[in-house]
Structure 1
Amino acid sequence: MLEKLTTEKRNSSTMDLDVMSIHEILEAMNREDVTVPQAVAMELHSIEEAVQNVIQSFQEGGRLIYIGAGTSGRLGILDAVECKPTFGSPSEMVQGFIAGGMKAFTEAVEGAEDNEDLGESDLKSIHVSEKDTVIGIAASGRTPYVIGALKYAGHVGANTVSISCNKNSEISKFANVKIEVETGPEVLTGSTRLKAGTAQKLILNMISTASMIGIGKVYKNLMVDVQSTNYKLVERSKRIIMQAADVDYDTAEKYFEDAQHNVKAAIIMILLQCSYKEALEKLKLSNGFIRKAL
């Protein structure tokens, strides 16, 4: 069946890739990469559905679970681990699984992606329920590990989403929402870490970012739930307060400390001239949305 997948076809414009100059190779890759956002744009309606499912899960106390093999699995894990520092979300709120376990993040685990049961058992290990959204990622759209996971997620009533880079993919049959971004033949035949991987990264960026905005973790275009876990992020937190409340550095720093490093509370304290305790109460009543609190 592989020969029917567009991700496995040969790219007619790079048949002489091995004799091209370095500049010609880079031009060819850049030319192909330009087509990726255009292909993603064709699936925005399905991506929107996926985001709505994730927001619903978060509002019900559920989680976003990415599951994939190889490059797809690594991209899911990458997106998951970035959510905690960026949005201040608990580590269990967004999780990523890869066929073969975390060892497979740095080296291939032979045969793991071909086992449907492993996908199911990985989801069982975290007690996936109807409150969760499970997103299966596979460039080919046929990875058994992902199929097993989506089957099980559907069985327990979770929201299910598939992301593939081929039309009419196998994993789409097991998802409530199917995202099929046809990125076409790769510059290097079958190397789906290239255009297919780029498309997947763009989609995961959209899903996690839009979902976090949807539950109040962004004010204007500022990441107001950022975790100040190092010097750079402490300074970024102060700049966010400066920009959101239109104050100088010293004022932002004072309120940042008074608010016990809670950026949202500091902004509300400045704009409403209220106490830390009052700011926390307003945030609670507004479900964490600064605009509603104001």
Structure 2
Amino acid sequence: MKHSFLKKTAALFAAVTVLSLTGCAGGNTQGSSEPEAPAVTGNVTVTAFNVGKADALVVQTQNTVTVIDAGNKGDGKVIDKFLTAQGIDTVDLMIITHFDKDHVGGASRVINKLNVKEVLVPDYTSELDEYKSFVEKAEETETKVTPLAFGSSYEWSPDDTIGTIYASEKDNYGRDEENDFSLVLYMRHGDNKFLFAGDAEDPRQQEIMKLNLGKVDFLKFPYHGNYMPTTEAFLDAFAPKYTVVCCSEKEYADPNTVETLEKRKIEAYYTCDGNVTAVSDGKTLTCSQAAAG
């Protein structure tokens, strides 16, 4: 397996407060019962950006901003400009689902340009330059980085939402395992439920299904629309009304995935066609797409 993030960066982050996830503030253990949803007081808006075959999403409540991944190197400016155009200079939580360059690449820019209160990461390290840039920038800015231990979870419930971030169950999945280290966010807002599945492949998708989260209204499709043996079972387990696939025109979703979504009458949006915006008022959920620029 890759080295533990917490052990590997202990010296580097001496000036940074890093929590141990065995006793994380607000943390849950997997499989705990879901609390009752609070009364809805405002909208939740999810924006998935057109940044090619890469993940970069922003979740906004009335008073908070959560960033889920930051795309490739250079994509951080998309998030930065999107938020600063709204007069927002603070990110309450940034989740880096795993350390592939198309997820962590823009993180250093976001940390450098915005006040990021905390970054949640899986508990391993990477040799990629994009990862090293992220670590160096977090140290330079004294940004709190919290590694989420394998098999644990973390409550994230800003404003009128209820959310849980789940780490992978295992610390070793064999070959090309980083995708299966993906952190996964499940969130409720009133009657609407959201699932952000990172780059989860077969083993990780099976773990997510075992959480018994029930049906969701919005799914950030795992791993850029790749089709896998678990794809149909995964879609049947969560039966989303909407799904967003982060892909490019050159590296589009697998044709089998497209066909599977169409057969299930799941309304699919592909980020290469433009930014996707989902808005929940706690009762209804709407999705729209801007024309690709």
Tell me the TM-score normalised to structure 1 length: 0.29
Larger Rg: 1
Higher strand share: 2
Higher helix share: 1
Tell me the TM-score normalised to structure 2 length: 0.29
